[in-house]
Amino acid sequence: MPPLTAFEARVLDHIRRHDLLHPEEGVLAAVSGGPDSVALLSALLALRDETGTERLIIFHFDHGLRGAESSEDKAFVMNLGSTFQVPVVVKTADVGAYRKARGVSMEMAARDCRLAALDEAKRSCGLDKVALGHNANDQAEEVLLRLFRGTGPAGLSGMRPATAGGCIRPLLFAPRRDILAYLKEKGLTYREDSTNQIPGHCLRNRIRLEILPRLEAVFHPRITETLCRHAELATAEESFWSEEVSRLWEEVKCKGSTGETALSVARLRCHGPAVRRRLIRHAVGLQRGHLGGLYAHHVESVMKLIERQHSGRSVDLPGGLKARLEGDRLEFAAAEPQQAVPFDFKIPETGSFEFPSLQARLVLKAEPNPPSGTAHGSPLEVCMDADRIRWPLTVRSWRPGDRFRPLGLGGSKKLQDFFVDARIPRSLRPRIPILCDAEKICWIVGRRLDERVAVSRGTSKVIRAAWISRDWNSRGSERLPSG
């Protein structure tokens, strides 16, 4: 092996300092073809002996949004894999349909589909980590973006070098200029995304192309490094707060009904505002499974509930969540939907089927199984082995006693227990569509596929199922349609 370059040595130091990789782990490298991802791939390959990486696979996601450019990006990445003798997995998704179904921005839709596809590829390839090419400039942009959107102190920590889900960012320390210099030193070419040069394409572009250069010119020529250093300090603070909140949680939590999280107001009021805010965020995170869309003004609304002590009052939170004050209890639960009516629709064959009462549509297509096993990244779209399906199909609401075999579990499970483990509020369960064939449950829509219809290497034909709903909230927290 040739000696490491200075840049590769810095990447290795970052990996070791943040404990990003361990010997014999398998890594999925996300490669778009841009400079950051090409540098990431090159550095990971150069460091394989030092990190002990057992398997390295390239992942490319084709958003299908830029016509010929998208196809050329894919061909470039495939050629990279051939040049470096690294396997390539390519996934795609109908980002436009996902955006329409979820009512989110195109940037958010692309991100959600890409991350879902990454996670699926990581699991199907049996790998341990997903390596992303975010750099120091991306970190500075993220900190400013969160600040402009009204994030609290936790959000100012920006992106983490590693996440609990196995994502790592080996280049997060490196300014873009160092990455470009490394590529030049290695003689490596890369692709440029033309949309990255359009300020109005998204807010992140405006920050990159207009705001950060202005800050560098007027305030500080090394503003990127300053913002990244701030993010590191905030991350250290968050490590302390994480331990502190875990310790205090047992003190303030109350026993809640199924599907809700409850806190003692009296015990909350024993702590200062900073601690209360952290505990409120923790409660929302437990209830929803994430903090996406939760901003400082949401937390402050809950703080006012506590201060004014108006029992029976409530505030709306993102994801269809409500915070309600009931006596000495602060309860976090899904907003009360209209009473659900059981539904049961027969599906005799493939095609497109409208369900007006559900404000939704199901599209079923028979397709040959692609050689790569490519499946769309949206949780509202799955591929099923056509030979394992017994027609006719049914879309129905759940029934007491329902059981299925969740993909990846290795056994059967009561649907009610699955809902409880997934923290799905009782009030929402009757509204979740279930796709069944003549013998069994096939798919809990948006949640989990049944392993009995999962695509395998021996699959020759697939049924691709897409659920398109006007009332499905983003990031897995449902406002499922009323019956």
What radius of gyration, in Å, describes the C-alpha atoms of the chain?
24
Rounded Cα distance, 245 and 155, in Å: 16
How far apart CA 466 and CA 350 sit, in angstroms, is: 11
Is residue 262 a contact partner of residue 253, using CB atoms and an 8 Å limit? yes
Q: Identity (one letter) of the amino acid at 171?
A: L
Q: Give CA angle at 135 (26, 73), nearest 5°.
A: 70
Q: What is the DSSP letter of 340?
A: P
Angle between helices 223-252 and 273-288 (to 10 degrees): 80
Taking alpha carbons only, the member of 281, 259, 318 closest to residue 474 is: 318
Both tokens assigned to 358: 């559900």
DSSP string, 206-267: HIIIIIHHHHHHHT-TTHHHHHHHHHHHHHHHHHHHHHHHHHHHHHHEE---TTEEEEEHHH
Dihedral of alpha carbons 244, 246, 251, 254, sign:
positive
Q: Which residues are annotated as a binding site?
A: 32-37
* Closest listed residue to residue 168, CA positions, set 285, 286, 44, 32: 44
Contact between residue 53 and residue 26 where contact means Cβ atoms under 8 Å apart? yes
**Whole-number Å distance between alpha carbons of 174 and 190:** 17
Q: Which residues belong to the annotated binding site for ATP?
A: 32-37
Q: What are the two backbone dihedrals, phi and then psi, of residue 443, each rounded to the nearest 5 degrees? A: -155, 125
